[in-house]
Amino acid sequence: MTDDRIVPVTMPKWGLSMRLGKITDWVVAEGDEVQAGDDLADIETDKIAGTLESADAGTVRRIVARAGEDVPVSGTIALLAPPGVSDDDLDAAVAQARAVIDAGVPDEAAEPIVETAEIGGRKIRYAGAGQDGDVVLLIHGYGGDRNSWLFLQEPLAAGRRVYALDLPGHGTSTKDVGDGSVDLLADAVVGVLDAIGASGGAVHLVGHSLGGAVAAAVAARDPRRIRSLTLIAPAGFGAEINADYLRGFAEAQTRRELKPIVAELFADESLVTRQLVDDLLAYKRLDGVATALRALLGTLVGADGSTQRIDSAAAIAALGDVVPVTVIWGSADRVIPPAQAESVPGATRRLIDGAGHMPHMERAAQVQAAIEEAIARAR
Amino acid sequence: MARTITYREALNEALVQEMERDESVIVLGEDNAGGEGAPGDHDAWGGVLGVTKGLYDRFPGRVLDTPISESAFIGAAIGAATAGMRPVAELMFVDFMGVCFDQIYNQAAKFRYMFGGKAVTPVVIRTMYGAGLRAAAQHSQCLYPLFTHIPGLKVVLPATPYDAKGLMTQAIRDNDPVLFFEHKALYDLTGPVPEESYALPFGEANVVREGGDVTIVTMGRMVHTSLEAAEQLAAGGVQCEIVDLRTTSPLDEDTVLESVEGTGRLVVVDEANPRCSMATDISALVARKAFGSLRAPIEMVTAPHTPVPFSGALEDLYIPDAQRVVNAVKAVAEYAR
Amino acid sequence: MGDAIVGIVANPLSGRDIRRLVTQASVFPTAEKANMIQRMLTALAAVDVHRVLLSTDLGGISAAVLRALRRRQAMGQAGSVSSPDRWPEVEFLDGQPIRQTAQDTVEAVRRMVTAGARVIVCLGGDGTARVAAGAVGDVPLLALSTGTNNVFPAVREATTAGLAAGLVATGAVQASEVTTRAKLLEARVGDRTETALVDVAVCTERHVASRAVWDPATLTQLFCAFAEPDAIGLSAILGQLSPVSRGEPDGVTARLEAGGTHRVLAPIGPGLVATVGVRDIEPMRPGPAYPVDTAAGVLAVDGERELTFELGDQPTVRLRADGPWCVNITAVMDASARLGLLRRPPAASPSTQHDPRESTA
Amino acid sequence: MTDTIERRALTRDQLLNVYRMMRTIREFEERVHAEFATGEIPGFVHLYAGEEASAAGVCSNLDQRDTIASTHRGHGHCIAKGVDAGEMMAEIYGRRSGSCHGKGGSMHIADLSKGMLGANGIVGGGPPLICGTALAAKIKGTGGVSVAFFGDGGSNQGTTLESMNLACVWNLPAIFIAENNGYAESTASTWSVASDNIADRAAGFGMPGVIVDGFDFFAVHEAASEAIARARGGGGPTLIEMKFTRYFGHFEGDQQTYRGDEVARARAELDCLKRFADRVVQTGELAQADLDAVDADVAAMIDKAVDDAKAAPLPTRADLLTDVYVRY
């Protein structure tokens, strides 16, 4: 029996297809004291590199996985424990954890199931995590896709069904976006909600940026269906927007052109890995994407070429007090200014220090906590 | 949606999607359907290694078997390209260029310049290259340096299924004559490939591995040999940056130079014979434009200056392998003035 | 026997006109013409013709025969086991400029006549035979067809034809017994004349162009020296309506017109079976000049457009009885059989079997 | 059969056009011959004079749908297919205003907008290309016909023979015009063409092969008209062999010591322009005054072409690197 004061630090599941992560570097050493949210280790997968933040406070008593080592998802990589826990107990826990790491990835690990809904003649793809409970639907922003939520979807899925979709024009959904309007995107989201059988209420919407405006529009159509609305750096709450970023993203043709543009999304530009840029380029090069991005650019940016065209005020007003609204914003957002959080009436506001326009990627643990709170506040 | 498919399937999918998108795309070559005029199946082969399988029935009249007559049908593809078609012709093995080279380098390559910019020749010539199948001296050569030498031609060498599809799509949509080199040892290689169409631009090298110690510039099958070497080297603490040129014409000089400026050390890995090759070309480029960054002499890992031998015992020695790449990288990494 | 000379004239251009394109007429390659001459040389030697005069051309026929001769010489000197049959001495009629026109044939035949040829073999079609006929005088002519598009020349194997020519040349068979005199048609436009051995057609085409007549819609009038029911070519039209043999003194003439009183299906060329309207069929008497009643056009002789005529030219066509003396191959070989000319003594025994000619050589 | 007569019968305007075509070629070539001798024209120039009836007899049956590929002796084909003689002259002088902006020269004059796929510096280079343009026409159903001109030298190239085979295998609307002018450079075709007649080779591919007097416009026109109509109708390829003589050497500067007196005789007795003029005047289809007017007009046009070419600016350094690719 291991001492239940021992808290394992496990390999996170970043994205539904992740099975294995490699610890590239330990930020902490044995003996260090950590607080919740402190960086523990740099981890990379075949898709992305990120930093694992501690979910708990405590003392790092044992590092289980060495730097450079591949660890299956949920494998224990370190142990936190108060000083009173004995070395023998810790060593026993290490041995148990090493056995899991050395066994490697189980063969039967299931591929995530990506589902397709036919909505308005378009194929909309979405994938879910979790078995039962309330439905959480995650809606990405301009140029993103359901993998934007890779740090959040699995962690949010304890006791819930968490879905992420690819909006029209994005990811693996049909690239045609018609007029590119928020309404058209909202139709797709409603269609997905119908497809997953979430018609009876108990739906929590989380939308980022353009996806925030879409989430607000969906909620406004039928507020009783929605139990909570979380907006991360949403569009539609002010005139100011970094139109150069949006245009640059739409127009970039090469890695060299795209990399500095993508850097504007993050407070910490080192997060812009070659893989991230390559994945975005691969998306941008799919037939139809250029047209879709141009159409959506017209939705986001007004005729003057510099200010926002979307206004979500009416949508929020339509919610009345039926749906609790939470707004999350990175303090270092260079795409839409965080001050616009003040323009969301009646919302609970969470400003994430040190995050840019992608707080759910840069400060996933804090964003997760904010979403959990929002869900908890729901009627 | 990206699935895992083979290099062969990726090429086939690019052909199918482009033929569906644009009816001026036609496919022709020896045995591209196979069985024409014979009593058995009419799509018996679908290309000698199956790349064009299934196209014949799907696109009636647009997949043409040809006599073994490379000058005539490669020339016909070029002529058809000047007349509004987008032909994809297959020169079964690049070794056969000797029986049709005039049409490629004197005709297709020169029309635009020679005719004062008035010609557009959007032809793709697919061809198999490379050693490793015990196919001996006349069915195993690389020869892409010869085509790279000719102004007016574009030369493409995909290393992965993803690149194979994207570069084939671009080759078909491109308005210049394109030589598309498919390594015969890569057809069964699998990798993620989106279902949708996409075009990868020419002249954009791909950094397939980042590393700060030594730059490896390579292409085609040698990308995989270099990756294997880089894994071994990483265990010993040497981090290689691998640049896959993807196209040798146009050439992404910037990516090569940027990488060498970062590492100061260059190994070029090229399956072709060493003289007047991509190995010498990249070496000259770096020596000329990044001399100040170099901290060690440039190394080349190539085939020897011999024809490709038949016997497996010899062919295995002929083809550059990971150990030779490891040795070259170590030599430049450990070089001290 | 030393003066048993045979002349062979071959036309390199015959058999390649537009009818290959418009009616799938047969192609007769140069190499096959040269082969015919070589087979004929073997046959001529076999019946003791020692000297052959051969026309020269730029089309490759004489050159191919010359190459064959040199090859045989080399093989003979090398004592090859398959030493070739004897051939006569072959004299090439070179030294004359070759103009690649019908005049080449005329010149060659004239020189053969002057050199004392006893028979002149002509390889070609109706056109070649017609040109040769105009120059042979009284020397017997053996016209052999190269191709199938012909009425006048015989379609026979060259070896047999060679034997027949040789038997006449050496006098083994009397020429007077195996030759018949052909009729001639003489077409005249002003002071230009052309002769035909089979037919003269009046054609509304304005230009000679590719020469061959292949489009029946252009024809208005037809004159035939003879018209056989089994012919190929324009004479077949009247051959089915009013046949006239080669031996009869008269010919036959008619007007061709879509709305004519007769309509007949006729093989007017290889691969060309047409329904032709015909009226005013009448015998054509030797002697008088028959007028052409078309204002302007071309006169085609033996199927080739040759003489153009314009308004006011008033062309005429006349039937003559003084055509060339033609060797009848069947008659020659019948005579040979009757006379036993090709019989040889029975072999004495297998061990002494040899060519009897060698013992007398 | 009536349609075939109508196809062949040429109207007064058509006769004037073909005469202008042939006269333009003759005048162009005679003039280039004279100007070359002054040393002002650079490079290699191969003249077509004497062979005009071939280009005119074939191309007068073609229209915008149709494509031709030519040879190193290509000026005549260019003019007959409608390439501007002024631009051609400028090209021969290496001027920026030339058909190819001075980048092609005599051996590479092309104008794809006119269906002229280029003169060609490679003997036997054209026939494979023509298989391709014919294939394109067949697939697109344009009714277009493609014509490959090649010489007796080109007839011996594998590319030409391969193309005839491919054209027959694919039943393409392709016409092969063998212009047998008696010499491949300095070597006699009677020596170098083993079958003696190039047309005889057609039988080996199962297509018609005919020989035409290449000095006689009407003979060429009739044969080409039938072959082209056959090809348009789906009847497949035809090989037509022109027999004639070129009036000048293989290239300008060729002393022609390998030749006899055939040029003088041809010029005197066989010349296509003289024969054409004699015929149409004799038949009354055209008057001598009509022809004289064309002669004067063409002479003035060629004078202007030469003057303009000499005065035109040369390409500049900036032109050296352009038009290698559509996009690189």
How many CA atoms lie within 13 Å of A92's alpha carbon, on the beta-carbon side? 9
B22 has a pLDDT exceeding 50: yes
Give chain B positions within 8 Å (CB) of A282: 162, 194, 198
CB contact under 8 A, B197 and A287: yes
Residue C148 pLDDT: 61
Question: pLDDT tens digits for A130-162?
Answer: 888 899 999 999 999 999 998 899 889 988 999
Same domain, A189 and A119: yes
> How far is B3 from chain D, CA to nearest CA, in Å?
31
Same domain, A288 and A353: yes
B with A: 3 or more CB pairs under 8 Å? yes
The domain tally of chain A equals: 2
Q: Which of C11, C13, C16 to mutate to test the interface with D (most CBs of D within 10 A)?
A: C16
Give chain B positions within 8 Å (CB) of D159: 71-72, 75, 102-103
Same domain, A308 and A165: yes
The residue-averaged pLDDT of C126-153 equals 88
Asked whether residue A274 is domain-assigned, the answer is: yes
Same domain, A201 and A157: yes
B35 has a pLDDT exceeding 70: yes
- Closest CB from D5, D190, D212 relative to C210: D212
Cα(D184)–Cα(D153) distance, integer angstroms: 5
Residue C150 pLDDT: 80
One fold for both B2-194 and B206-330?
yes
Same domain, A123 and A97: no
ipTM score of the complex? 0.81
Please state, rounded to an integer, the average pLDDT across all residues of chain B.
96
> How far is B115 from chain D, CA to nearest CA, in Å?
5
Same domain, A149 and A12: no
Give chain D positions within 8 Å (CB) of B250: 328
Find the Cα–Cα–Cα–Cα dihedral A97, A100, A104, A105, rounded to 10°.
-120
C84 has a pLDDT exceeding 80: no
Cα(D285)–Cα(D269) distance, integer angstroms: 22
- Closest CB from A114, A253, A274 relative to B1: A114
Hey, is the C-beta of D255 within 8 angstroms of any chain C C-beta? no
- For a pLDDT cut of 90, what percent of chain D falls above it? 91
Question: pLDDT tens digits for B318-327?
Answer: 999 999 999 9
C358 has a pLDDT exceeding 50: no
For the domain that residue A308 is a member of, what is the CATH number?
Answer: 3.40.50.1820
Residue D3 pLDDT: 54
Cα(B236)–Cα(B232) distance, integer angstroms: 7
Could you name the CATH architecture of B2-194? 3-Layer(aba) Sandwich (3.40)
Question: pLDDT tens digits for C231-247?
Answer: 999 999 999 999 999 99
pLDDT band per the 50, 70, 90 thresholds, residue A260: very high
- For a pLDDT cut of 70, what percent of chain B falls above it? 100
Cα(B28)–Cα(B64) distance, integer angstroms: 5
pLDDT band per the 50, 70, 90 thresholds, residue C360: very low
- Domain extents in chain D: 2-314
Cα(A234)–Cα(A333) distance, integer angstroms: 11
Q: Assign residue C233 a region (left: φ > 0; alpha: ψ between -120 and 50; beta: otherwise).
A: left
Residue C79 pLDDT: 54
Hey, is the C-beta of A256 within 8 angstroms of any chain B C-beta? yes
Same domain, A184 and A303: yes
C351 has a pLDDT exceeding 80: no
C162 has a pLDDT exceeding 50: yes
Q: Hey, which residues of B are catalytic here? A: 139
Structure tokens at C305: 């457009």
**Residue A13, φ and ψ in degrees, nearest 5:** -105, 105
Residue A110 pLDDT: 57
Which domain range does residue A322 map to?
114-377
Those chains having 3 or more beta-carbon pairs within 8 angstroms of chain B are: A, D
Hey, is the C-beta of B154 within 8 angstroms of any chain D C-beta? yes
How far lies A336's CA from each of A67, A139, A141, A186, A341, in Å? 37, 17, 12, 21, 10
Cα-Cα end-to-end distance for chain D:
55
Question: pLDDT tens digits for D146-175?
Answer: 999 999 999 999 999 999 999 999 999 999
Superfamily of domain D2-314: Thiamin diphosphate (ThDP)-binding fold, Pyr/PP domains (3.40.50.970)
CB contact under 8 A, B200 and A285: yes
Residue D171 pLDDT: 95
Residue D2 pLDDT: 44
B201, B14 contact by CB (below 8 A): no
Asked whether residue A83 is domain-assigned, the answer is: yes
> Which CATH number describes the domain made up of B206-330?
3.40.50.920
Among residues A103, A130, A145, the one where a domain terminates is A103
Hey, is the C-beta of A204 within 8 angstroms of any chain B C-beta? no
Residue D267, Cβ neighbours under 10 Å: how many?
Answer: 14
Hey, is the C-beta of A287 within 8 angstroms of any chain B C-beta? yes
C325 has a pLDDT exceeding 60: yes
- For a pLDDT cut of 70, what percent of chain A falls above it? 96
- Domain extents in chain B: 2-194, 206-330
Same domain, A267 and A140: yes
Question: pLDDT tens digits for D27-52?
Answer: 999 999 999 999 999 999 999 999 99
pLDDT band per the 50, 70, 90 thresholds, residue C359: very low
A333-337, C85-89, C142-146, D167-171: segment of lowest average pLDDT: C85-89
C361 has a pLDDT exceeding 60: no
C145, C154 contact by CB (below 8 A): yes
Same domain, A122 and A18: no
Residues sharing a CB contact under 8 Å with residue B203, sequence separation 6 or more, in sequence order: B247, B250, B251, B252, D328
Question: Over its length of 328 residues, how does chain D's per-residue pLDDT go in tens digits?
Answer: 345 556 667 999 999 999 999 999 999 999 999 999 999 999 999 999 999 999 999 999 999 999 999 999 999 999 999 999 999 999 999 999 999 999 999 999 999 999 999 999 999 999 999 999 999 999 999 999 999 999 999 999 999 999 999 999 999 999 999 999 999 999 999 889 988 889 999 989 999 999 999 999 999 999 999 999 999 999 999 999 999 999 999 999 898 999 888 899 999 999 999 999 999 999 999 999 999 999 999 999 999 999 999 999 999 999 999 999 999 9
Asked whether residue A1 is domain-assigned, the answer is: no
Residue A51 pLDDT: 85
The runs of H, that is alpha helices, within chain D are 2-8, 12-37, 52-59, 75-80, 85-92, 126-140, 158-169, 189-192, 202-205, 217-232, 262-265, 272-282, 288-311, 317-320
Residue D7 pLDDT: 62
Residue A340, Cβ neighbours under 10 Å: how many?
Answer: 21
The residue-averaged pLDDT of C107-111 equals 93
Q: Which of C11, C14, C19, C20 to mutate to test the interface with D (most CBs of D within 10 A)?
A: C20
B133 has a pLDDT exceeding 80: yes
Those chains having 3 or more beta-carbon pairs within 8 angstroms of chain C are: D
